Amino acid sequence: MNRKFCIAPMMDWTDRHCRYFLRLISQHTVLYTEMVTTGAIIYGDAHRHLQMHEAEQPVALQLGGSNPADLAKACKIASDYHYNEINLNCGCPSDRVQNGMFGAIMMKHAQTTADCVKAMVDAVDVPVTVKHRIGVDDFDSYEFLTDFVGTVADTGCETFIVHARKAWLKGLSPKQNREIPELDYGRVYQLKQDFPELEIIINGGITDLEQSKQHLTKIDGVMIGREAYTNPYLLADVDQQIYGSKNSMQSRKKVAEEFIQYVDNELSQNIKLQSMTRHILGLFHGMPGARQFRRHISENAHQPNATIDVLIEALAKTTG
């Protein structure tokens, strides 16, 4: 799987409807699920969390957990859904995640993380990767980072997705943790130089393809988060500019029309219209009619009897 350009796992955002929509814009971008905890898979409704449309591929599943046996079990259950990669979350700083002893706090426990990754590697045939920060709390030296990566890499993990900020586990919200700690791209570049055999993907503060291409001169791949959600059409020429595809870009209107077909089918499976349309509000970002498009969907998609007509009417208000 070519991870030169990836969309970050984002809680409440990168669900299966969002991923299907983004795949209509770019065929090659690697997509990540929301983080799913091992408990949700082992003891909850695994199918609801793991189901996806085959058209979404390539997709990576992100897991949250810190118990090697539970992670291995969750990986085996997930293997029936044919994800291209399974990623372990070692970067989320939220209180809920900390209380479960996983997420960014795992960076303080490199050997435990390594044990988890080893169990996952042994459980499945697909690549197991780790997403983490450059540090956590006062554990923010470069030596701390290299010790963490080196310890985990010894398990057979070959791909590390590095958010180029440290995380503060106390005093900052998850949103503030994405904005307040300073970005240090140089530290991620150095990591690649010191571990040339590993695949290093950079994440944090990247908002367009020009920035992405600059990073790609130093490291192996780029991961974009919120910007790709609020302005999804930035993916429109990823295939051409990043992957060298000769295929022509999909127009915004063509993307919307294809998504309408998907929505129509999902509605027949009793999926609520709003749970799908909320992901496409930014499709016409910066284009004439964008505000009317968003408003029509926002005002009508949540209605109990909302149908596909809401999307068709919204699309008629655009010229993009």
For the annotated catalytic residues, the residue numbers are: 92
161 token code pair: 């997705």
SS (H, E, C) the chain: CCCCEEECCCCCCCCHHHHHHHHHHCCCCEEEEEEEEHHHHHCCCHHHHHCCCHHHCCEEEEEECCCHHHHHHHHHHHHHHCCCEEEEEECCCCHHHHHCCCHHHHHHCHHHHHHHHHHHHHHCCCCEEEEEEEEECCECCHHHHHHHHHHHHCCCCCEEEEEEEEECCCCCCHHHHCCCCCCCHHHHHHHHHHCCCCEEEEECCCCCHHHHHHHCCCCCEEEECHHHHHCHHHHHHHHHHCCCCCCCCCCHHHHHHHHHHHHHHHHCCCCCHHHHHHHHCCCCCCCCCHHHHHHHHHHHCCCCCCCCHHHHHHHHCCCC
122 token code pair: 């042994």
Q: Beta strands 85-90 and 59-64: pairing type?
A: parallel
285 token code pair: 């970002």
